[in-house]
Homo-oligomer: A and B are copies of this chain.
Amino acid sequence: MILSKTTEYALSILGFMATRNRELYPAEYLYAQLKIPRQYLRRLLTDLTKKGFIASTRGRNGGFVFARDLSTINFSQVIDAMEGPEAMNTCLLGFAACIADHPCAMHDLWLEARAKMVETLTKTSLADLREKYLKDQVTNDK
């Protein structure tokens, strides 16, 4: 499963916004592009605003903009904000305490594999995403 649908949506929204050239992204525009259920999308946009990834302006000509530089937002931050910081930090076997209070055979391997995943998610920023995206686009256009 890895991530909840809600978190995937959040990444989807930010990932999409990061790879376009608009300044402003109204909810309705994002809905047309992403097909995330309308009202749910709106709620998520407000969430992402409260969490400081994007900023909103109301009224006519309103919409959403990134609240900070793309290079300061990485995937791990978004996941942590959506799922809580401990989501990627749980025991594989679902034990509160380890079996008989000592690490099982999986522990080191599991920690290592998970750490690698978290590292990947941490070191990739939305700026990286955008850069790679634009580069590929040029290549594809040839």
The answer to whether B109 and A124 touch across the interface, beta carbons within 8 angstroms, is yes
Is A28 positioned at the interface, with any CB of B under 8 Å from its CB? Answer: no
Number of this chain's copies in the complex: 2
Known: A1-B1, A99-B16, A103-B136. A120 touches B129 (CB 8 A): no
The answer to whether A90 and B19 touch across the interface, beta carbons within 8 angstroms, is no
Chain B residues near A124 (CB-CB < 8 A): 105-106, 109
Known: A90-B2, A93-B12. A131 touches B117 (CB 8 A): no
Chain B residues near A75 (CB-CB < 8 A): 92, 106
Chain B residues near A67 (CB-CB < 8 A): none
Q: How far is the CB of A67 from chain B (nearest CB, A)?
A: 20
Q: Choose among A15, A93, A130 the residue with the greatest number of B CB atoms under 10 Å from its CB.
A: A93
Taking Cβ atoms with an 8 Å cutoff, the residues of A that contact B are: 1-5, 7-9, 11-12, 15-16, 19, 75, 83, 87-88, 90-95, 99-100, 102-106, 109-110, 112-114, 116-117, 119-121, 124, 128-133, 136-137, 140
